[in-house]
Amino acid sequence: MPYKAVVNIENIVATVTLDQNLDLYAMERSVPNVEYDPDQFPGLIFRLEAPKVTSLIFKSGKMVVTGAKSTDELIKAVKRIIKTLKRYGMNLTGKPKIQIQNIVASANLHVIVNLDKAAFLLENNMYEPEQFPGLIYRMEDPRVVLLIFSSGKMVITGAKREEEVHKAVKKIFDKLVELDCVKPFEEEELEF
């Protein structure tokens, strides 16, 4: 059966360490379009329009950046955030350390998956169709969790690198084919 999977990175969550304490009150006063209400949340919220990401900045110098759709976009966003903070008078020293915590992706295998059979034959899975229509599969290598639906669509979470997402999708496709848990879409079942 030919491998025709389409994979999309939906969100990358990363932590950024600046190795210095930050004055969030000064940031709130001088940087436009930021939100800071320490009574509600200890971090300053900084939203970028392009790339469309949100950063939570803490006084410890740590940041959480979400919304990037690629590693390149994540790096570009962090550079733009740092540049913007410096432009508005924030004295930032040193190089930011970026660490990806989680990549969430979606994929479409373009096949029908027999989830009952897959649940019986795959290890490390949970499938309770009365509770949730997808099979939850915990892959060991790469270490990700896949939510697999009978439509052949899936959600992949837990990856630390984009390559891990692609490796996981190919690996589960090959495994489902090997276990005879997939069949091609019939002509009338094709999506338009």
Residue 93: its pLDDT value, please?
Answer: 87
pLDDT at residue 188 above 60? no
Q: What is the pLDDT of residues 9-30, one digit of tens each?
A: 999 999 999 999 999 999 999 9
Q: Are residues 113 and 83 in the same domain?
A: no
Indicate the pairing of strand 135-139 with strand 53-57.
unpaired
Q: Are residues 107 and 173 in the same domain?
A: yes
pLDDT at residue 189 above 90? no
Q: Are residues 107 and 170 in the same domain?
A: yes
Residue 191: its pLDDT value, please?
Answer: 54
Burial class (CB in 10 A: 0-12, 13-18, 19+), 179: middle
Q: Is residue 153 part of a domain?
A: yes
> Which CATH number covers residue 34?
3.30.310.10
Name the percent of the chain lying above pLDDT 90.
91
Q: Are residues 80 and 22 in the same domain?
A: yes
Q: Is residue 150 part of a domain?
A: yes
Q: Are residues 34 and 54 in the same domain?
A: yes
pLDDT at residue 114 above 90? yes
Across the chain, the runs of DSSP E, i.e. the strands, are 6-17, 34-35, 44-48, 53-57, 62-68, 97-108, 111-113, 125-126, 135-139, 144-148, 153-159, 182-184
Q: Average the pLDDT over 85-107 and give the result.
A: 94
Residue 127 neighbours by CB under 8 Å, 6+ apart: 115, 116, 118, 119, 134, 135, 136
Q: Average the pLDDT over 41-51 and give the result.
A: 94
Q: Average the pLDDT over 102-130 and give the result.
A: 97
Q: Are residues 115 and 63 in the same domain?
A: no
Burial class (CB in 10 A: 0-12, 13-18, 19+), 107: buried
Residue 186: its pLDDT value, please?
Answer: 73
Query: In this structure, are residues 54 and 24 in contact, taking their beta carbons and an 8 Å threshold?
Result: no
Residue 44: its pLDDT value, please?
Answer: 97
Q: Are residues 83 and 117 in the same domain?
A: no
Q: Average the pLDDT over 25-36 and give the result.
A: 94
pTM: 0.90
For residue 48, how many other CB atoms are within 10 A of its CB? 19
For residue 143, how many other CB atoms are within 10 A of its CB? 12
Q: Is residue 129 part of a domain?
A: yes
Across 21-87, the runs of DSSP E, i.e. the strands, are 34-35, 44-48, 53-57, 62-68
Q: Are residues 147 and 173 in the same domain?
A: yes
Q: Are residues 123 and 73 in the same domain?
A: no
- The residue segments making up the domain with residue 134 are 101-182
Residue 192: its pLDDT value, please?
Answer: 45
Q: Is residue 121 part of a domain?
A: yes
Domain count, the chain: 2
Residue 2: its pLDDT value, please?
Answer: 86
Q: Is residue 109 part of a domain?
A: yes
